[in-house]
Structure formats: structure tokens, C-alpha cells
Structure 1
Amino acid sequence: MIHFFTDPYKDELIYSAISRYHFYTGNIDFKDTIEECFGKRTIISSLEIGSPIDALAKNIGGSYTSEYLIKEHTIFPYYIPFLPMKRREEIIKEIKYGDCSGIYQKIGIIAGSVCKREGIYYCPICATNEIQMKGEAYIHREHQLQGIYLCVHHGELLRRYKTIKTDVSRLEFIRFEKDLLDLSNGPKDIKHYEKMLKLASDAYYLLENDLMSTDRKIVLKKYKSILCEKGLTTSGNRIKQREFYEEFINCYGLEFLKIMDSNIDKDDEYNWLRVITRNSKRTVHPVRHLLLINFLSGDIAEFFNDIRNNYKPFGKGPWPCLNKISEHYKMNLVNNLKITDDYKTRLPVGTFSCDCGFVYSRKGPDKSSEDRYKIGRTKKFGIVWEDKFKAYLKERKYGLRELARFMNCDPKTILKFDSILGTNMFQNNKGNIKDKQPAAETDKLSDYKNSILVNMESNTAATRTEIRSMCKKEYIFIYRKDKKWLYDKLPIATKRTKYQPIVDWNKRDSELLIIVKNKYEGLLVSDELIRITKSNIGRGLGILTTLEKNIDKLPNTEKYLNKVIETVEEFQIRRCKKIIKNKVANGEPIRIWEIQRIAGIRNKAFEKIKNIVLACIN
């Protein structure tokens, strides 16, 4: 156990505390410091997390535990609520006892390279205050979060420390030195300042609050709940992607999303906005979750405090039974609710089924407490209603309309059940209740028929479809009331002529070949490395559908694409070659491990191309 250790400051990375420990103990060799802290000399220092934390906690002793150090002195809480529970447990176990090998991919720090940056960052105002009060500045974890550019406490633009980890040995712990800190006043006019400061505040909330009970699954349910509340989902809980995309873009603007490495390709089935709202195993970066939370809720504290309450268009159950004949009328006994979409308005329609057999529905969402006691349509009356109806019939003293009032239904319903149940008490009344079109409706039908005939006489060459287009309301009204008359009077339906292709595919092939070649050459010289695939070329030119569905009609274009598209390994080699070229141009030393790290290639994949990369270096 260590008899002396530099207690971590508020929100200080454990990496920073160890670097100060090394300084104050006067150790010359960093391996000595590593052994004293972790119990062995082979640990590689990690800025953001550090491991194995459990060994460090035991060596420090006192009140320190591995759970406390992870929660208070690593950036892991930034990722906690957006990870699946099982993966989170695996990661915590790795942080406690492992060497963090491959942990960053599991967390999502590397995935998508969202707002990826090199170096250690600090706030000049924080550093100045710490030097004055504590005699030294330290590394804050909130300043190292990807996607966060401002200090949440002072709104100051973060600055990169002059010494970075790639400049020193992998075993070395960097400590802030006053002479290397830029403590001058920073720029005040920062573009998108308010949005960036809001993200910094939301990120700090994740660090400061215990969200261990929340995981990816719970957050996803909350997303869908709020999207439903905003009218951006169907009753089947499917997201209306086009409307969602448009509102999200309007909220932030394309420029800001580009700065945050969060552009959205609405034609890409796997763009991050779709992935983040699906039951996907893919990791989505926390900054993108913060963008979505801010769009949906605006208040991250409110979002997480209320995260387990799902949107309910008809309120919480149980709901009242609205069978006036039953003794439990208006009592909250209905537990069976089925929600569907209205086929016209797409609003939710709730169908409520009581144990007494009474089934009713209404269109939602409910806007007041009184709406709970409204019926849009009665679908079934149920056994209780039928028994009461039979009891009234046995008394043989009620007329048709009087009985309809007692049973809270239409007289036609009484006649219907009188026939269904075989009581036949009101057979003589059927003539009085016979369905007849009102005189006004009959006149309307006659007027609409005349309108159709007049239009047909004025447009003798018009087809059925053209007549329907000219007389939309008349057509649909007659279709519902007298379809036979309509079809007898309309022109004879003409057969569709065989489709004749109008596209000259040979010409189209030649044209596309030229623009595909230009796009390919552009991708090769682009500063942004993009893998050359049919999808990337087609999407960039806006012709992806043509290339996917009609490629068999474009033989020259297909042949060229097959020649130039890259495999994953070919793209990895091209990335490595560009890194080597840049280092040679800048006169920098070339290290094989550094090329692998910058290119972001995993060990197993890099082994396959290592000899080719070495040949390029030589």
C-alpha cells in the first residue's frame, strides 16, 4: 500500500493525480511510479480512464474504491446511460481488472471518429484560479470529453496543452506546467456559442449525476415516447423519419451539425439519427445523444428525472367502463386498451374493452380529464347489456324509442338485437325505421348525377380517370350511394397501352461513366479519406438508385465500378499510405504503431496488411 498519495481534486482525472504523485515523490523512472500505483511495471498510462482501477484503489487505501474512482475521476460516466447494460458491466469489469485493451471501441470513443481530437485540453480561467489557490493546475475530465469545446464553468474556449501524449513515452504521465499554459484572454466571438455551451452543460450533468440505473434500452423508450408525443411516430411506434429529419435539421442547422461531425444523410438507411432511435447494437456517440435529448426535451435533468414515464395518449389505466346499463358505469375497471392509427388523420384511436363485454373506441390523444368519459363509437354492447335488454323485453311495456333511451342506443340497434336474440318484439316497427335516404340527400344525389353527365357531354373524349379528376366530390358521393349507375354512365374503361421505354440506356451509360470517373478521381485527391464503393459514389452523385436497380443496363459503368471500388483492406492500405506521405512531407518520424493508431485499424486487421505498410515505409 502507498503511504502517501496526491488526493484527486474535484473532477480531476486519475491520470492527472498520478502525474502529480510522480512529481511530488521525486521518482525519476515512470516505471517506478506505475509499479507503486498498480503493483506492476507493465501498465500503459491511459488519459481518459486508466486501468486497472481496482489495483490502484487498493494501493491507495483509505476510503477510495474502484467504483468511486471510476465515477468521480474518469470520463466513463459520459458514456454510461447510452450503453447496453450487459456491455456496460463488461466494460466496468475491464476497467477494474483488465488493461483496457479494446475498451475504447466498446465504449464508442473511436466509433465514427465523432469530434475526435488529439492532446490534453484545459480552460485558461480554471488553470489561473487553480494556480492561485492550489499552486498548480490539473487536468479536468470535463475538458477532455469529445464534442465539448467550451468550459462549462466559464464559457471559455478550451485550449490544447503544448505537450501531447504522442510526443512522449507511452509510460510517461504528463503534468501541467505553468510555463507551458496559455493563460491569456481568449476570443469572445465564438460561432454557435450558445449551442456549444448548452452541450457542455449537458455533458457535465452526465458526469455529476448517478445514472447507473439507466441504460440504452430505457433511453430508447424515452426517445420514442417523446417522439410519439410530438406526433413523429405512428401508433405502431414507427418513427416518421422524413418529418423527424426535417424538424431536427431545422432545430440545429446543417452548419452546426457539420461542426459536431453529426451530418445526416437522409437517404442512408443507417445514418446515425435512424440508428440512435432503433433497437440496434451499434454504439452512438454521447454528443449525438445530447443533440437528440436537447431537441426532444430541452432540459437534460427533466429528461432523465422523468425517463421511466412513457407517453400515453389516453392517460394511465385502468380506464372507465362507459356502459350506462352496468352497475360499474364510469368506474375505472378497463385494463384492455388497443391503440391503432386513424387511417385519415393518423391520430391514435383507442379501443377499450371491459370484462362486461362492452367495447368502445375514441380518437385521441386526450386533452382533458373529461375526455376519459367520451365515446366515439360503441363496438360491442356485451353480455351485461344484452341481459338487461332481455329483462326489459320480458316486461312488455316499453315502446321502441323508449327502450332505445333506456338502453342508451339508436332504435335501429334495438331492432337489430331484437332480431339477433330471436325475441321479435318489434317486427311491426321495422317499416317505420326503414333506412330511407332523406329528401335532401336524394336531391343532392340527383344534382351530382346531372353534374357528372354535363361534364361528360362537354368533354366527350375524356376518360374515366379524367372525369373523376374533374368531379372529385360528385364522383365519390355517387360511388358510395349508387355505384351501378356511375359505372353504367361513365365511358368504357380503356386498356393501358404497353409501356414503351423512353430511356436511351446506351447514351445514359456513356454519360454516367464520365461523371463516375470524375467522382472517383475527386475521391482520390480529397482531403477527407472516403472508401471508394458503389454506394459512396452513387450517393455523392445522387444516382445511387440508378446504379443499384439498373446497373445491368449500364455495362460500361458497371465494368468501371468493378475495377475501381475498394475492399476494406485496400482502403486501409490507402489510409496508411497517406499518413506515411504526410509524415514524410512534414519531416516527422515514422513509427509503425503510430500509423496503425492514426489509421484506426485493429490489431488483427493490421497484421494482414503490415508487410505492405512496411514496404511502403521502406
Structure 2
Amino acid sequence: MNEQCELPLPYPDELLYSVVARYHLRAGNSSAKCTLREVYGTENVIPTTDLPSHLDSLNAIQPVSVDQWIDNHTFYPYYASFMPRDRALLLRQLMKGSDGSGIHALVGIIASTVARNSDLHFCTACYEEDVQRYGEPYWHRVHQLPGVKVCPTHGYPLQRLTSPLSDRHGLTALPISRDMFESIPIIEELNERAEGQLLGIASDIQILIQMQDTQVFYNSRRLLMHRLSDMGLVTPGARVRQRKLQEQFVTFYGRELLNMLECAPQQNDHSWLASATRSMRNVVHPLRLMLLLRYLYGSFSEFLKQSDQELAPFGKGPWPCLNKAADHYREAIIKECKVTRCSDTGQPVGTFHCACGFSYSRRGPDQSEEDRFRRGRIKSFGSVWESKLKEYLQAGLSYRSTALNLGVDTNTVIKYADGNTTRHTCSLKVTGKKNKVKKPSKLNGCKPVRVDWELRDLELSWQVEETCKELMNDQFRPVRVRVATIGKRIGKLSILEKHKDRLPITMNILSNYLESVSQFQIRRVRWAAEQMNGEWPLKKWKLVKKAGLRPGYSPEVEDEISRCISYNTLISPLTSTEVTQWLH
């Protein structure tokens, strides 16, 4: 058409479908096809409520941009938040394009067992408020989303029209008077607990679609594992206890409510709940993921707070410089934080580089504001720190006082003082023809460096005990606690091997953790049995292979193997005849 139509200005959270339906009434067109031809330039368009297409072909004078239509007046943010980023971008392009036949297949709606809403829903309280505020009612987007059974604003059960109804190609506008239509509630009366759950679910979904930036929660396992571990739902081998999770999940919502939402997990290892807590291969329906997030965190808003800590484990920059030698000590001037993963614990490690040359790192995530000023390991000191060290030593300060002023260990001061070209030692004298070097301790009054073994013993004992605990509590494959292993991990192997007699506290603590071959093998058997939890019956050869045992192990190890197998036989296997369906 040559002339463009002018669509009404959309109301807050109004469906694009509702805007076109209101235009249809104002235009006075007798046929919906005529309206579609005026709006889209073609009548070969099916007016869908959730994910419409042909948006780039709108033949209307648009009060908003195409991207604003998609983000604020369609179901796009509801589905895109839980899709891979590239697939979400493809969905946006399909909605803009003229071929929308593959949209629902791309999103996974066709293969999903969560049915699409076939009716339009409204809230009676919202209806009255819209008429008073705008002079007419309209279809709210949040009321049409899967899982929303009550109004998140008023808490009333939603209603659906029973008459008048349009056909598949028609446009249904919400009548301006209650006398012009009939409706019934979409849910029957529920108990107070179920109603509260439905209100919470609707509120969570409303927060989701109102987010300014569509975050991608597709591979949510990394975000959920920490919370699952806190709830005791993760094995030492970082595997989710699926049966226990499913039992608690069903208890939390109730089987009746889950059946009504079409989200009851099947009792097998391939349910949607198991898929949601594993590395994603298929897209799980947004409603089901929202239910899981609400169970784990209490609400979607709380999950967003926790995910911010996971995605930004050290908060937002700038971060403070912790160089005590600098004038800007504890001032937030570091603009970049490089986040890596600890190879031992899997926790995030942040590295902070300041312009003064000082660089430090620490494990995260931060739990409080004070953690921003916590310094783990110093990567480099920089020229400012080294200059201040030189200044203190030339002024005659002791190593202890210098270390206190610079915020480091005494041994660190000694190390850098000895390595400095202007180190705090006596100068060399040259006499006679042999250029004999005089000993500083005798000729110039300089004292040799003395090691404070009591202090070193105490410091090493802390490092040794912390490292031993990390090895014993490691959720991955067990590592034997030995002197060599501990020494290498803390970088003090030579001291532990050559000066055992000077480290009584350290060696006493170390002896409490050292493992014999049999003790280590027993720990490996227990770890292997935990990894194979849920496998029934537990075969001995599989357990031995998983534990990495060679023939000739001790009777104590044999007894532990028998104990693990006996314990496994007491647990009856969970059987089910239900058919698994992968949800997309």
C-alpha cells in the first residue's frame, strides 16, 4: 500500500498483538485480513501473540523501533534469556524477517511438553485500572506467559474469555465493557500455599521480562553448582545428587502444582531437572528453569544477586591498590581485574595490577566489602615499593620494622634487600695486590643475617595445615598427602626436607595428615564409591578400577572395598516405567 497506517501508541507491557487489535477496532475494518494488509503490507501473516514475525515489514507509522517492539511487547526476553547467545540473535532476525515458519521450532516450543497458552488472559483488577487510566483495556504481556496463572501485581487468578472468540486468523481485542463479554478463571481454587507459590512464580517471571539487558542463563550449571553444593546436593566428585534434588524439588512445590504447570520431573536420570543441572545440550523450557532457580535461591531477584557475584566475583571496579609503600594505598585506582580459576579448588582468582607496578591476587568470591582490601599473594612489588625499601634500609631501620611498614614478611624484606644493588650490607674493601674481599661481619661491624626459626616454624605450620586440608577436602581425584607434595605446593620443599629438626610445630602438624599407602588407597576407594553413587549393583572390579588400585593391596583396603559394596546393596534401585522426553 502507498499510504501507511498509524498504530496506536503501545501501553506499558502491552502485546504487539493487542496494539494491532486496537488498531483493528479503530480502523473499523470488517475483515482481519484487511487490517493485516494495512499493518504488515501483506495478508499472509498469522497474528501470533508470543513471537510474531514480519516486524521489519511493518507498513505502519511506528511509534517505537522494531527492537523495542521485540524487547518490550513480545515474548522474546522470556525465551532468549535461556537460549545460547547466537540462537537468541537468530531468533531476533527471524522475528524481523518475513519467514516466521521456523521461529517456534528454533525456540523449542514445538517439541516441548509445556503447552502454549491457546487463550488470552487478563486480570480483573488490571482491567478496571486500565479503563480508568487509559480509557480502554488491553492485553498485558505478562498475563499471557507460560507459568503465569495469577496477576503478579494484584495476586488475583487470571481470567480467559469464553465469548466472543475470534478464529485463528482473527484479532481479539479486550472489550471496553464487562457487559460485552463473558469469562471464567483459568485455575480452580487452590490452597493458600499453592496460591502463594503461583504469585511468587508470576513475580519472578515479571522481573525476568523487565530486565533491561537480556542476560544469557543458557549454561546455568556453573551458576548453580555453588548453591547446590551448599545444600548438600553435590558429591565430592562434583556430581549432582539427582535423586535427592528431585525429591526435595517435588516436596518444595508439591506434585499437584507441578502437574498443573506441566513441570513435574520424571523419575529417571534423563528428566528435565537432570538436564538443567548438567552441561547443556538442549534448551530447557524457561518456566522450568525459573522454578529451579526459585527453589534454590528463594526468588529470581536473589538469584540475580548471586549470579552477579559469580559473574563478577570481585565486585565492580575500580579496585584498591594495596601497596603500603605508595601514597595511594587503599585508594580505588585499579581499573582492571583479570579473573582465572584456582586449579586446586576451582574458585575464582582475581589478579590486580596497579600503575605503580604493584600486583597482587586473591581467591574469591568476595563475601563483604572488607574483602576488597584482602590481599592473597603478591605477584610483583614495583619500583615504588622497592624505592621505599631502599629508603628504609638506608635510614637504618631493622628488617622487622621495614617489613611492618611495607606490609610484608620479614623474610621478604631480607630476600629483596639481598637482591638489591644497594642492599643493606657493608661495602667491600680492596687491600693489597690480591684484591682480598674482607668479611663484612668482622671488619665493618655488619652482622650476618639470622633466621628466626620460631617465626618461620609458625608461619610454615599455617601454610602446611591449610594445604593439607585442601588436599583432604579436594572434590576431584584424591592426591596423597606426602612431604614432597605439600612442600612443592607451598614452595618450601627444601626447608621441609633439610631443616625438620628446626620446625617442630610444622612437622607435628604434618605428621597428623601424612598418609601411608594403605590409608591413601582407602581414601581413594571411598572417593570412587561416592563417584559411583546411584550405580546398582556396585561391581567390585569397577570400584577397584575407578579407585586406580593395583593388585597386592593390603587387607585393610580389601575390607574397605567390601564395606562399600555391602553398603551399596542396602540401597534399592529406583525404577520407573515412565518414558523420558528431552525438552527443548
Fold in common (TM above 0.5): yes
How many Å apart are 1:219 and its aligned residue? 5.6
The answer to which structure, 1 or 2, has the higher relative contact order (CA under 8 A, 6+ apart) is 2
2:450 maps to a residue whose letter is L
Instruction: Please name the residue that 1:162 is paired with.
Output: 162
How many Å apart are 1:97 and its aligned residue? 1.5
Q: Is the 1:52–1:98 contact (alpha carbons within 8 Å) kept by the matching residues of 2?
A: yes
How many Å apart are 1:146 and its aligned residue? 0.7
Q: Is the 2:139–2:174 contact (alpha carbons within 8 Å) kept by the matching residues of 1?
A: yes
How many Å apart are 1:196 and its aligned residue? 0.6
Q: Is the 1:78–1:207 contact (alpha carbons within 8 Å) kept by the matching residues of 2?
A: yes
1:282 and 2:282 equivalent?
A: yes
Instruction: Please name the residue that 1:453 is paired with.
Output: none
2:276 maps to a residue whose letter is I
Instruction: Please name the residue that 1:522 is paired with.
Output: none
1:410-463 per-position Cα deviation (integer Å, ceiling 9, x unaligned):
3999xx9xxxxxxxxxxxxx999759999xx9xxxxxxxxxxxxxxxxxxxxxx
Q: Is the 2:267–2:576 contact (alpha carbons within 8 Å) kept by the matching residues of 1?
A: no
Instruction: Please name the residue that 2:451 is paired with.
Output: 404
Instruction: Please name the residue that 1:540 is paired with.
Output: 576
Gaps of 5+ in 2: 378-408, 426-438, 461-482, 484-496, 509-517, 523-553, 559-573
How many Å apart are 1:15 and its aligned residue? 1.7
Q: Is the 1:78–1:286 contact (alpha carbons within 8 Å) kept by the matching residues of 2?
A: yes
Distance 1:113 1:162 in 2: 25
Instruction: Please name the residue that 2:24 is paired with.
Output: 22
Distance 1:331 1:366 in 2: 18
Distance 1:144 1:371 in 2: 48
Instruction: Please name the residue that 1:262 is paired with.
Output: 263
1:104 and 2:104 equivalent?
A: yes
Instruction: Please name the residue that 2:475 is paired with.
Output: none
Distance 2:363 2:140 in 1: 55
How many Å apart are 1:47 and its aligned residue? 2.2
Number of residue pairs aligned between Structure 1 and Structure 2: 435
3-state SS of 1:309 partner = helix
Structure-2 change in CA distance of 1:351 and 1:158 (3 Å): closer
In the TM superposition, what are the counterparts of 1:72-471 in structure 2 within 5 Å?
72-114=72-114, 116-131=116-131, 136-163=136-163, 169-177=167-175, 178-182=179-183, 192-212=194-214, 214-216=215-217, 221-224=222-225, 226-227=227-228, 238=238, 240-242=240-242, 245=246, 248-249=249-250, 251-265=252-266, 267-268=268-269, 270-301=270-301, 303-304=303-304, 307-310=307-310, 339=342, 369=371, 372=374, 403-405=450-452, 408-410=455-457, 434=501
How many Å apart are 1:2 and its aligned residue? 3.3
How many Å apart are 1:62 and its aligned residue? 4.5
Q: Is the 2:162–2:182 contact (alpha carbons within 8 Å) kept by the matching residues of 1?
A: yes
Determine which structure has the larger helix proportion and give its number: 1
Distance 1:336 1:134 in 2: 50
1:179-226 per-position Cα deviation (integer Å, ceiling 9, x unaligned):
3333899958555111110111111122333223x2235866544465
1:83-124 per-position Cα deviation (integer Å, ceiling 9, x unaligned):
221111111111112232121232243443225443222223
2:457 maps to a residue whose letter is D
Distance 1:341 1:495 in 2: 26
Normalised to the residue count of structure 1, the TM-score between the two structures is 0.53
1:50 maps to a residue whose letter is P
RMSD: 6.0
Q: Is the 1:82–1:286 contact (alpha carbons within 8 Å) kept by the matching residues of 2?
A: yes
Q: Is the 2:7–2:63 contact (alpha carbons within 8 Å) kept by the matching residues of 1?
A: no
Distance 1:246 1:306 in 2: 24
Q: Is the 1:233–1:240 contact (alpha carbons within 8 Å) kept by the matching residues of 2?
A: yes
Structure-2 change in CA distance of 1:386 and 1:195 (3 Å): farther
3-state SS of 2:89 partner = helix
- Identity, in percent, stands at 24
2:451 maps to a residue whose letter is A
Q: Is the 1:313–1:365 contact (alpha carbons within 8 Å) kept by the matching residues of 2?
A: yes
Distance 1:24 1:312 in 2: 50
How many Å apart are 1:74 and its aligned residue? 1.5
Distance 1:309 1:64 in 2: 35
How many Å apart are 1:11 and its aligned residue? 2.2
Structure-2 change in CA distance of 1:130 and 1:374 (3 Å): closer
Instruction: Please name the residue that 2:541 is paired with.
Output: none
Instruction: Please name the residue that 1:52 is paired with.
Output: 54
Distance 2:286 2:557 in 1: 58
How many Å apart are 1:147 and its aligned residue? 1.0
Q: Is the 1:349–1:364 contact (alpha carbons within 8 Å) kept by the matching residues of 2?
A: yes
How many Å apart are 1:61 and its aligned residue? 0.8
Gaps of 5+ in 1: 417-429, 442-463, 469-491, 497-537, 543-564, 569-599, 601-618
1:403 maps to a residue whose letter is R
How many Å apart are 1:340 and its aligned residue? 5.2
How many Å apart are 1:141 and its aligned residue? 1.6
1:36 maps to a residue whose letter is E
Larger radius of gyration, structure 1 or 2?
A: 1
Of 13, 24, 30, the match for 1:11: 13
Distance 1:298 1:106 in 2: 30
3-state SS of 2:105 partner = helix
Q: Is the 2:150–2:158 contact (alpha carbons within 8 Å) kept by the matching residues of 1?
A: yes
Structure-2 change in CA distance of 1:245 and 1:387 (3 Å): farther
Distance 1:283 1:184 in 2: 31
